[in-house]
Chain A
Amino acid sequence: EVQLQESGPGLVKPSQSLSLTCSVTGYSITSNYWGWIRKFPGNKMEWMGYISYSGSTSYNPSLKSRISITRDTSKNQFFLQLNSVTTEDTATYYCARTGRRPLYFDYWGQGVMVTVSS
């Protein structure tokens, strides 16, 4: 069974970087696409980006140059780094898998809540 698990700090200071790990079991990240989605207080959901089976990436333009998604295939993990965070980045962050084409998300992690506050 495919399982995803996010981990990382729950509190980040403004202007610092947010770093999260998604650990995947039951499926290789060298197949399919692997993404990050966040849900803000108030329920708005935002696709942040993904990393493909080959390591290529695609990002939401709204995040401009602040975002980076990388991976470690030896550990079957992928990572999110979001730089220069503000209080508006406070959200629950989910990692998720897409199908063989990056159209929708069929497996999700349980989510990790990240608060940006001094």
Chain B
Amino acid sequence: DTEVTQTPKHLVMGMTNKKSLKCEQHMGHRAMYWYKQKAKKPPELMFVYSYEKLSINESVPSRFSPECPNSSLLNLHLHALQPEDSALYLCASSQGSRGQSPLHFGNGTRLTVT
């Protein structure tokens, strides 16, 4: 069982919908991440939160809006997505944001935009 929990597992949404992806960890990790993964490709970093503050935004379109309500929770708010945004969205956490801390991944949310 993964220690990073993501909900929902699957999500289908239209281009005009607003939805949110949720991520939770209880390992006391202070860094949390959102990644996007297309089929047969490596994960692509979207956002990094360190101590509940946004530290990295990899030039992600504004239709993706991250939120970190507290040190255990990470949300990704979705609005007006495009079909090309269909992908597996992975949440991860690490003890710190230094390079030697390995990432712990959730099982992801499979998003389909119709």
A and B interact physically = no
* B-binding residues in A (CB < 8 A): none
- B interface with A by C-beta (< 8 Å): none
